[in-house]
Chains A and B, each alone.
Chain A
Amino acid sequence: MISVRNISKIFNAGQPGEFTALQRITLNLQMHETTVLKGPSGSGKTTLLGLVGCMARPTTGRILLNGREITSLPERFLTDIRRSTFGFIFQQLNLIKGVSALENVMIPAYSTGEKFSLLRRRALEKLDMFDLGKRVDAKVECLSGGEAQRVAIARALINNPAIIIADEPTAHLDSKLSHEFIGIMKVLKAGGSTIILASHDPIVYDSDLADRVVEMRDGQIVSEEHCP
């Protein structure tokens, strides 16, 4: 379980540009469930995902991951947790240009010192899963939008993370590719993954993928509904 307890995030605290992005948020996310964060631009969705995903620390409050308090851990442990527990799919995809699809997928695993042949095989499996078997050696900038997104998903899955975090995954996709993305997430969900999505795209939050939709506004949760 991911337990977010009373967290706030204040950017530039004490400085002229002080800004409270999250205000005393409390939220419990069950494992193996899919949660969608929705809300208007600037409501704090990305900020919350970053805190949950160990990318940054809250200003106040605590986050527990399966009962373990992560907010006060040193940087090195956070990196470890981030790498082994979370798979990120970024809005900007954030693939490394000039490098092949295969290598992009393997990058998050380099830090583990796993044997190259095993790692490569696993990366190829992930790419195959998304019909990218023929594109493994292509440089990422040569891929189509849909292919690039699938490479980004494959990269998020390379370390077999328990939790997948995706920020505005459909922002750059047309409806067809957006539905395709939902389809992939459903497969992962069926495989037991915990999924957290931030989106203001109805295709995402109205889909039957979501077990729970959390609506945010001005850094606060305004509603939380469970989908049947």
Chain B
Amino acid sequence: MVSVIEHHQHILDFTISSLLRRKGKNGALLLVYTLIVFILASLLFFTNALKREATLVLNEAPEIIVQRTLTGRYQTIPIAWGERIRKINGVMSVRPRLWGYQYDSVFQANYTLTVPAENPPESGSIDIGSGISRMRSAFPGDIIAFVGHDGLSRSFTIRNILDSESQLLTSDLILLSEDDYRDFAGIPLDQATDLTLRVRNPGEYITIAEKIVQMYPETRPILRSEIQRTYDAVFGWRSGLVMVIFSAAALAFFIFAWDKATGLSAEERREIGILKAVGWETSDIMMMKFWEGAVVSLTAFLAGTILAYIHVFFTSSALFAPVLKGWSTLYPAFRLTPFIDFAQVATLFFLIVVPYSVTTIIPSWRAATIDPDAVMR
């Protein structure tokens, strides 16, 4: 038993020194391989983290949102409508919401302003998302100014920096009191941005939505399932793009592995001949080639995965965020919350390390059947 381990160790040692002496070739190999793993792993981490953010968004979304439209365009809704809507059977509660977007031309960023249902800041103070805090170097206790709907600037004291599981949700967020928001956005006291409904029985969503439209034909009720569909569509499109990149990288990997599998340089053949001639078994040579593949692919896998992790969660996917994200223009960009699905990392491992290690054995199988006396000529 000991000698079996010793045997493997000798061959692994030799494999490593044999890899090291062809630094250029193997370095290039490792680089290409690491790059491919990096791209695949980045995509994997990125889409996973985005999906998770989206799930968080949906979990917080109300069952039904009622908006008002005028000639097909969004409008504020009278709060009084909510009183009548609450009387519909099955509606547990109605809450008028106040929120909206604000473009900051100085910093070229979009903010989302919201009046929270619970624990709103006092008039004159606000909570801001970490993205805004970073961008404007503003911290609790500081006074910060924003330009409102009338072009006049308003100052607020920062109460808190929002810290949440989901950076995507809170990075560009400003929480403020109802009075301040009405003043800031110019929404009259009897109006709200939209109404949110709590409904206990999902079977009633559609009937309730129909009743609301009958009652107020200008309204547009949005069901959570519809929001879900929108997200799915967005993600469907995004993951389509991801699939394109993913398959390109996978293709590159297979071409690369195939090239490696079929090509065995004259020098390598000669060396295999020498090893056989001095008493290595065919199985030793296969073991060596296997270790060679395993060492290269494991190193590339680890390096590529770690780099991808840093890329996605610490540099905000700098390389492909512009293509994939697009809904937050807040700079510096938000950071996705580190999140790894180990099942997917394991899949990546089996798709990358295992086939590669195996393909490196194929050519040596052929070479190992070469007569050892070839080296005598």
A interface, CB within 8 angstroms of B: 46, 49-50, 55-56, 75-76, 79-80, 82-84, 88, 90-92, 94, 96-100, 103, 106-116, 119, 139, 155, 159, 167
Contacts and interface: CB of A to CB of B under 8 A. Distances in A.
Given A90-B376, A96-B274, A97-B21, A113 B7 contact: yes
A111 B282 CA distance: 10
Contacts of A115: 2, 6
Interface stretch (B11-19, B74-82, B196-204, B232-240): B11-19
Nearest to B283: A76
Given A75-B282, A88-B277, A110 B10 contact: yes
B265 to A, nearest CB: 13
Given A75-B282, A107-B275, A113-B6, A91 B17 contact: no
Contacts of B6: 113-116
B339 interface: no
Closest 9 CB pairs of A and B: A83-B279, A98-B21, A113-B7, A113-B3, A55-B373, A110-B10, A50-B373, A108-B278, A56-B373
Contacts of B371: 55-56
B17 A103 contact: yes
A158 to B, nearest CB: 9
Contacts of A88: 277-278
Contacts of A167: 376
B276 interface: yes
B59 to A, nearest CB: 58
Contact of A159 (B274, B276, B279): B279
B280 interface: yes
Nearest to A139: B21
A119 B3 CA distance: 12
Contacts of A107: 14, 275, 278, 280
A224 to B, nearest CB: 23
A162 to B, nearest CB: 14
10 contacts: A79-B280, A79-B282, A82-B277, A82-B372, A96-B18, A96-B275, A100-B17, A108-B280, A116-B6, A116-B13
B377 A103 contact: no
- Chain B contact residues: over half helix, strand or loop, or mixed? helix
Given A46-B377, A116-B10, A119-B10, 8 more contacts: A50-B373, A82-B372, A96-B275, A99-B21, A107-B275, A110-B10, A111-B7, A116-B6
B73 interface: no
A54 to B, nearest CB: 9
B4 interface: yes
B266 to A, nearest CB: 13
Contact of A94 (B9, B18, B274): B274
Interface string B252-282: 0000000000000000000100111111111
Contacts of A98: 18, 21-22
B284 interface: yes
Interface string B92-110: 0000000000000000000
Max chain A C-beta neighbours (<10 A), residue from B371, B372, B375: B372
B271 A91 contact: no
B247 to A, nearest CB: 38
A79 B10 contact: no
Contacts, number: 93
**From B13, B17, B373, residue with most partner A Cβ within 10 Å:** B373
A41 to B, nearest CB: 12
Interface string B353-377: 0000000000000000001110111
B375 A110 contact: no
A94 B371 CA distance: 15
B281 A79 contact: yes
A88 B3 CA distance: 25
B284 A111 contact: yes
Given A55-B376, A94-B274, A98-B22, A76 B281 contact: yes
A85 B220 CA distance: 91
A83 B21 contact: no
B279 to A, nearest CB: 3
Contacts of B376: 46, 49-50, 55, 90-91, 167
Contact of B11 (A80, A96, A110, A114): A110
A142 to B, nearest CB: 12
A49 B375 CA distance: 12
Give the residue among B11, B13, B18, B274 with the most A Cβ atoms within 10 A.
B274
A49 B376 CA distance: 9
A217 B284 CA distance: 38
Contacts of A112: 3, 7
A75 B4 CA distance: 21
Contacts of B377: 46
Contacts of A159: 279
B3 to A, nearest CB: 4
B374 to A, nearest CB: 9
